[in-house]
Amino acid sequence: MAHYTGPRVRISRRFKTPIFGPSKYLERRQYGPGVHGPKARRKVTEYALGLIEKQKLRYYYGLQERQFRGVYEKALRRRGVTGEQMLQLLECRLDNVVYHLGFAPTRPAARQMVTHGHIRVNGRKVNIPSYTLKVNDEIEVRNHNVSRQMATRNLEMSTSRAVPDWLALEKDNFKGRVMRIPTRDEIQPIANEQAVVEFYSR
The CATH code of the domain that includes 150 is: 3.10.290.10
Structural domain contains residue 109: yes
- The predicted structure's pLDDT at residue 10: 63
Structural domain contains residue 66: yes
Identify the DSSP state of 136: T
Bridge partners for 139 per DSSP: 121, 176
Bridge partners for 176 per DSSP: 139, 169
Rg (CA), the chain: 18
Structural domain contains residue 117: yes
- Both 22 and 70 in one domain: the answer is yes
- Both 104 and 58 in one domain: the answer is no
- The predicted structure's pLDDT at residue 100: 95
Q: Where does the chain show beta strands of DSSP type E?
A: 119-121, 124-125, 138-141, 167-170, 175-178
**What percent of the chain is modeled with pLDDT above 70?**
79
Mean pLDDT lowest among 11-20, 23-32, 63-72, 107-116: 23-32
- The candidate with the shortest Cα–Cα distance to 90, out of 56, 115, 119, is 56
- Both 139 and 122 in one domain: the answer is yes
- Give the HSE-up count for residue 191: Cα atoms under 13 Å, Cβ half-sphere: 27
- Both 99 and 171 in one domain: the answer is yes
Domain limits at 47?
8-90+188-200
Domain count, the chain: 2
Cβ atoms of residues 185 and 71 within 8 Å: no
User: Rounded to an integer, what distance in angstroms lies between the CA atom of residue 193 and that of residue 2?
Assistant: 24
**CATH at residue 15:** 1.10.1050.10
Mean pLDDT over 20-42 rounds to 54
- Both 73 and 49 in one domain: the answer is yes
Bridge partners for 178 per DSSP: 167
Cβ atoms of residues 167 and 141 within 8 Å: no
- Both 80 and 116 in one domain: the answer is no
- Both 130 and 192 in one domain: the answer is no
- Both 56 and 122 in one domain: the answer is no
- The predicted structure's pLDDT at residue 77: 93
- The predicted structure's pLDDT at residue 60: 87
Cβ atoms of residues 161 and 102 within 8 Å: yes
Mean pLDDT over 129-142 rounds to 96
Output the pTM of the full model: 0.82
- The predicted structure's pLDDT at residue 12: 60
- The predicted structure's pLDDT at residue 59: 87
Structural domain contains residue 1: no
- Both 78 and 110 in one domain: the answer is no
- Both 166 and 108 in one domain: the answer is yes
- Both 81 and 53 in one domain: the answer is yes
Cβ atoms of residues 100 and 141 within 8 Å: no
Structural domain contains residue 131: yes
- Both 50 and 128 in one domain: the answer is no
| Per-residue pLDDT tens digits for 140-173 | 999 999 999 999 999 998 887 899 999 999 999 9
Longest dimension (CA), the chain: 55
Mean pLDDT over 51-66 rounds to 89
- The predicted structure's pLDDT at residue 92: 96
